[in-house]
Amino acid sequence: MTMTVEAAPGQKLYRAVVDALRREIETGRFAEAQLLPAERVLCELLDVSRTTLRKAIADLVDEGVLLHRHGAGTFIHRARPRVDQPSSRLTSFTDDMRLRGLEASSRELERGVFLPTPEEAMMLGAGPNERVFRLGRLRLADGTPMAIEHAAVPLRFLPESERVGASLYEALSSRGFRPTRGLQRLRATLVSDTEAELLGVAQNSPALYIQRIAYLADGSCVEFTKSWYRADAYDFVSELTLSPPVRKAQR
Ligand code: 16G
């Protein structure tokens, strides 16, 4: 099957090929393939010479639509989900992704019941002998790694911790311990080599390091989580309002 690529008046043929390829990529012709078909196949499909095709591919690489990996071939640079996260709502990763029509999934890195580290004990306000359930996960949206999270929850809130499934907040909710208030601290950081590999980003890529402490309505601390979010996939958005004018105390 071939496609007719015609240059508009004054347009170079290879630019028409750039447009045609971009259209094909956007409309999903190569949807299942990460790798661009071989030059020979594309030349036949578009009915153009190798020189024209190569020039078009070089332009698409410059534009970031295609990615050239030495020795491996030319890949389609799939747009990864980029997520706007209002920083004022206490939501779970699963809910956040569902709301955006993305499918949340996780790869577990750590799960178990431990004595708290001094940091966990301090953040959770737990005694040194109060055991915590620890859950480390790589969180993915539609299969794309988004964040690494290490959560610690005092065991008394999750006595059957082995039954915690895909959502930590759902497990807490079903036991009547859904956090209602949280405190979050964000800071810019660079990923370590291990984190880079898990997140599928280049070494030393920027990330958002987030610490969340979440509380129950009665003020007890239910969660301490440390996360590394990919800086290229997440925007934390804050809503700002003018605070009402402070009234002078009446005499
Ligand atoms: C979010 C929270 C994290 C919480 C998780 C629960 C941030 C920065 N972090 O990712 O603290 O543990 O949701 O998600 O928002 P889950 O219910 O899907 O397991």
Per-residue pLDDT tens digits for 21-80? 888 777 766 654 567 888 898 999 888 999 999 999 999 888 878 888 777 778 887 666
Residue 52 Cβ inside 6 Å of ligand 1? The answer reads: no
Burial class (CB in 10 A: 0-12, 13-18, 19+), 3: middle
| CATH placement of domain 83-237 | 3.40.1410.10
- The more confidently predicted of residues 21 and 169 is 169
Q: Tell me which residue of 187, 240, 237 sits closest to 212, measured CA to CA.
A: 187
Quick check: 42 and 24 in contact, CB under 8 A?
Answer: no
| Residue among 105, 107, 132, 149 whose CB has most ligand 1 atoms within 8 A, to mutate | 149
In the CATH hierarchy, which fold is given to the domain comprising 13-76? Arc Repressor Mutant, subunit A (1.10.10)
- The more confidently predicted of residues 110 and 70 is 110
The yes-or-no verdict on residue 124 having pLDDT over 60 is yes
Q: Tell me which residue of 137, 48, 52, 53 sits closest to 94, measured CA to CA.
A: 137
Question: What would the pLDDT profile of 180-205 be if each residue is shown by its tens digit?
Answer: 999 999 999 999 999 999 999 888 99
Q: What is the pLDDT of residue 233?
A: 84
The yes-or-no verdict on residue 141 having pLDDT over 50 is yes
What tokens were used for 153? 């929850």
Percent of the chain with pLDDT over 90: 55
Residue 94 Cβ inside 6 Å of ligand 1? The answer reads: yes
Cβ neighbours around 63 below 10 Å, total = 11
Query: Poorest-confidence range of 23-32, 81-90, 232-241?
Result: 23-32
Going by alpha carbons, the residue nearest to atom 8 of ligand 1 is 210
Residue 146 Cβ inside 6 Å of ligand 1? The answer reads: no
* Mean pLDDT of the 162-188 span: 94
- The more confidently predicted of residues 251 and 5 is 5
Q: Helix (H, G, I), strand (E, B), or coil: what is residue 122?
A: helix
End-to-end Cα distance, the chain: 87
Quick check: 154 and 127 in contact, CB under 8 A?
Answer: no
The yes-or-no verdict on residue 250 having pLDDT over 60 is no
Per-residue DSSP letter, 108: E
Tell me the pLDDT of the chain averaged across its residues: 87
How far apart (Å, rounded) are the C-alpha atoms in residues 184 and 198? 23
115 Cα: distance to centroid of ligand 1 (angstroms)? 22
Q: Where in the chain is the domain with CATH 1.10.10.10?
A: 13-76
Cβ neighbours around 6 below 10 Å, total = 8
Q: Where in the chain is the domain with CATH 3.40.1410.10?
A: 83-237
Q: What is the pLDDT of residue 3?
A: 74
Residue 84: enclosing H or E segment and its boundaries? Answer: strand 83-86
Quick check: 154 and 132 in contact, CB under 8 A?
Answer: yes
